[in-house]
Chains A and B, each alone.
Chain A
Amino acid sequence: QKEVEQDPGPLSVPEGAIVSLNCTYSNSAFQYFMWYRQYSRKGPELLMYTYSSGNKEDGRFTAQVDKSSKYISLFIRDSQPSDSATYLCAMSENSGGSNYKLTFGKGTLLTVNP
């Protein structure tokens, strides 16, 4: 079983739809959770960073963490064609420090159709 599982999609939605992206994980040591967006032929860029269970909102994006279920989600409201990209969840056991590394899901390819 991989440490982080993410449905690769592809996911295709009409403009304006609410998008739900999810990851599950098996390593209970993961404490910090991130969502990255990666456009084609580009490097990943950080969208959201959360620590505790619960919700965190930033504009049209909401990140949700449920540590008891080892499940994280990213919601995109009023999706736009410019949101078309691969979305990667990432996790770490610690916040910075000398042994800091991110463990990624494989990514979900999202297409928002005008």
Chain B
Amino acid sequence: KAGVTQTPRYLIKTRGQQVTLSCSPISGHRSVSWYQQTPGQGLQFLFEYFSETQRNKGNFPGRFSGRQFSNSRSEMNVSTLELGDSALYLCASRRDRRGNTIYFGEGSWLTVV
């Protein structure tokens, strides 16, 4: 059974640009959440999607957004990139909204220069 797949794995962007990251959850999993990991703040919850709707949101500015498609695949977008957005962005899936075990992908490493 394939795990959570994230693309791209590595990318470099310039300040002011925008970026879109993609996530394919484990087959059969319908809930996708996103986390940001930095050395200074650690892992922080961004948002969660279920049935194409954002269900829960962390304390991040509106520049961070996401969406989920009918096949449960998800994308997150960061607009007007800042240097501080450099981080590992992790996608995680769980079976459904009742599930309490989440499985992480390997992440997308974003560097903003």
Contact of A46 among B33, B58, B103, B106 (CB under 8 A): B103
CB-defined contacts of B42 to chain A, threshold 8 Å = 88, 104-107
Q: Name the segment of A53-61, A76-84, A95-103 touching the other chain.
A: A95-103
A-side interface residues, number (CB < 8 Å): 25
Q: What are 18 A-B pairs with beta-carbon distances under 8 A?
A: A36-B104, A43-B90, A43-B105, A49-B100, A49-B101, A90-B43, A95-B100, A96-B99, A97-B97, A97-B98, A98-B50, A98-B56, A99-B56, A100-B56, A102-B43, A104-B35, A104-B44, A107-B43
Q: Which of A44, A45, A98, A104 has the most CB of B within 10 A?
A: A44
CB <8 Å contact, B106 and A101: no
B48 within 8 A of A: yes
CB-defined contacts of A101 to chain B, threshold 8 Å = 33, 45, 48, 56, 58
Assembly CA distance A99 to B56 (angstroms): 6
Give B58's nearest chain A residue, CB to CB: A101
CB-defined contacts of B103 to chain A, threshold 8 Å = 46
B4 within 8 A of A: yes
Q: How far is the CB of A75 from chain B (nearest CB, A)?
A: 22
Give B101's nearest chain A residue, CB to CB: A46
Q: How far is the CB of A63 from chain B (nearest CB, A)?
A: 15
B55 within 8 A of A: yes
CB <8 Å contact, B104 and A43: yes
Q: Which of A36, A45, A95, A101 has the most CB of B within 10 A?
A: A101
